[in-house]
Amino acid sequence: MSSSQAFRTLSDQATSLKPGRYRHFKGGEYRFVGIGKNTETLEEYVVYQKLDVTDDMLCVRPVAMFLESVDRDDYNGPRFVYVGE
């Protein structure tokens, strides 16, 4: 794992995420675990976990995709919405 400044520094997008629960636009709720980085490309990923499930599976999604808006026939808005601690 790299100890370089670039690896240890997070983007403004990544630091804008608050700890707590988020609701996906399709309805599921998730707990924000943290930010991970690809050690080769330095791409940032949101690490999150679905609530109300029996397994401990962690999910990852690029920060930009986690924060982007969705534009569909039945929905137009953020992919994930912060709902609190």
What strand order describes the sheet that includes 80-84? Answer: 59-62, 44-50, 29-37, 20-24, 80-84
Q: What is the pTM of this model?
A: 0.85
User: Taking the alpha carbons of 74, 76, 79, 81 in that order, is the dihedral positive or negative?
Assistant: negative
Share of the chain above pLDDT 70, in %: 96
- Is the distance from CB of 33 to CB of 17 less than 8 angstroms? no
Pairing relation of β-strands 69-72 and 75-78?
antiparallel
**CA dist., res. 64 & res. 80, Å (int):** 11
pLDDT at position 6 is 81
What pLDDT, in 10s, does the model give residues 43-74?
999 999 999 877 888 999 999 999 999 999 99
- Structural fold of domain 5-84: SH3 type barrels. (2.30.30)
Each domain of the chain, given as residue ranges in start order, spans 5-84
